[in-house]
Structure 1
Amino acid sequence: MKLTVKDMTYCSLFAVLLAVGAFIKIPISIVPITLQTLFVILAGLLLGKKRAAISVLLYILIGLIGLPVFSSGGGLGYIIHPTFGYLLGFIFAAYVVGVLSENRNSFLQLCIIAVLGMLLIYLCGFLYFCFIQNIYFGKGITFGWMFYYLFLVYLPGDLISCLVAVTIKQRIGKL
């Protein structure tokens, strides 16, 4: 894919929005509530699959090279951070939302697509958290605890984020 200056600008803009969204947070539980999920879903809806995935990859690479753009810092060591799976989920969610939202304008369809993207983020984050905590660190965290503290606590706010992202998409259209 050949990127134009416009494409690179949009990818950079959303990478910055993800970084800013990491610092707008409510520190609850192990994973803080941030605006990042809103910007990931919005990137998929507005930028399309490739540019959305590139913007998230750019954000993650910036964090892994050491700039403290993640909600709890940055650097290569962040890979073993229990919440790194959510960042990986951002890539997949942005891409999948971009694919599924192509040529769709129905508010209901876009809401379903946004929620599916959010659930993909949750799935990647949940599985990675489970792996890091239970296998790498050897902690015996139960499924029930993880389901409550890694899913149910965040679901209401993230559903609102999905509605906001779809509303913005409906007003702006595709970039």
Structure 2
Amino acid sequence: MSKNSTISLAVASLFASLTAIGAFIKIPLPYVPFTLQVLFVFLAGALLGSKRGMQSQLVYVAIGLAGVPVFTQGGGIGYVLQPTFGYLIGFIAGAFVVGWITERITNPKTYQFVLANLAGLIVVYLFGVTYLYIALNTWMDVESSWSHVIMVGFLYSIAGDIFIAIISGLLTMRLYKTFSSVRTSNKINIQKERIL
């Protein structure tokens, strides 16, 4: 394994840890608490790229499902039955989307990072709100309309998440050059995969 690959794997693990820490910085809300996790999802995607950003969130979710209490309400395989599990799936996809968008911009500006974050946020909410609706209306047996689910799963926290998307864009602009070696190794690996 090359030095760059080792560094990028270590950094992906770091962002998995940061996402876990973000789970415990929260404001309790009905069904879906507001946390800082999405900040680290955005940073992982933009700073590590699509592949490593997604891997960081896969590691986070895998550790939680293995039983380590890194989610907002614990951990374990049974967490897939929690109504908020869809947001965790959304973190994986959202980090990929943020990375995918920023990889295609040669010298991204702050507003482009913010727009990429907002695209990732849409993906997180698509997974999260859909899963919440299914969970409430099936195995949780809590009959809920789409309007109610959108209220508790989207409207309660969207303003805070948009603010986080902006803050993350500003942070990313400051940190982007520092993480260039991780992104470069990702691009080289992507190019090799295309050739093969």
What residue in structure 2 maps to residue 109 of structure 1?
A: 112
What residue in structure 2 maps to residue 89 of structure 1?
A: 90
What residue in structure 1 maps to residue 141 of structure 2?
A: 138
What residue in structure 2 maps to residue 4 of structure 1?
A: 5
What residue in structure 1 maps to residue 20 of structure 2?
A: 19
Aligned-partner Cα distance in 1 for 2:114–2:122 = 12
Is residue 92 of structure 2 the alignment partner of residue 61 of structure 1?
no
What residue in structure 1 maps to residue 188 of structure 2?
A: none
Aligned-partner Cα distance in 1 for 2:14–2:137 = 36
Aligned-partner Cα distance in 1 for 2:135–2:155 = 20
Aligned-partner Cα distance in 1 for 2:31–2:139 = 17
Distance apart, 1:6 and its partner CA: 0.3
Structure 2: where are the runs of 5+ without partners?
Answer: 180-196
TM-score (norm 2): 0.85
User: Deviation string for 1:5-39 (max 9, x for gaps)?
Assistant: 10111011001001100011111121111110111
* 8 Å contact kept, 2:39–2:164: yes
Of all paired residues, the percent bearing the same amino acid is 41
Aligned-partner Cα distance in 2 for 1:12–1:26 = 25
Which has the larger displacement, 99-108 or 127-136?
A: 99-108
Which amino acid in the other structure matches residue 26 of structure 1?
A: I
Aligned counterparts, 1:20-59, within 5 A: 20-59=21-60
Which protein shows a greater Rg? 2
Structure 1: where are the runs of 5+ without partners?
Answer: none
Aligned-partner Cα distance in 2 for 1:6–1:171 = 20
What residue in structure 2 maps to residue 121 of structure 1?
A: 124
What residue in structure 2 maps to residue 73 of structure 1?
A: 74
Which has the larger displacement, 31-40 or 98-107?
A: 98-107
Aligned-partner Cα distance in 1 for 2:78–2:61 = 13
User: Deviation string for 1:62-83 (max 9, x for gaps)?
Assistant: 0001000000000000011100
* 8 Å contact kept, 2:102–2:113: yes
SS in structure 2 opposite 1:4? helix
Which amino acid in the other structure matches residue 52 of structure 1?
A: G
TM-score (norm 1): 0.95
What residue in structure 2 maps to residue 161 of structure 1?
A: 164
Distance apart, 1:146 and its partner CA: 1.1
Aligned-partner Cα distance in 2 for 1:149–1:128 = 13
Which amino acid in the other structure matches residue 111 of structure 2?
A: L
Distance apart, 1:164 and its partner CA: 1.1
* 8 Å contact kept, 2:111–2:169: no
Aligned length: 175
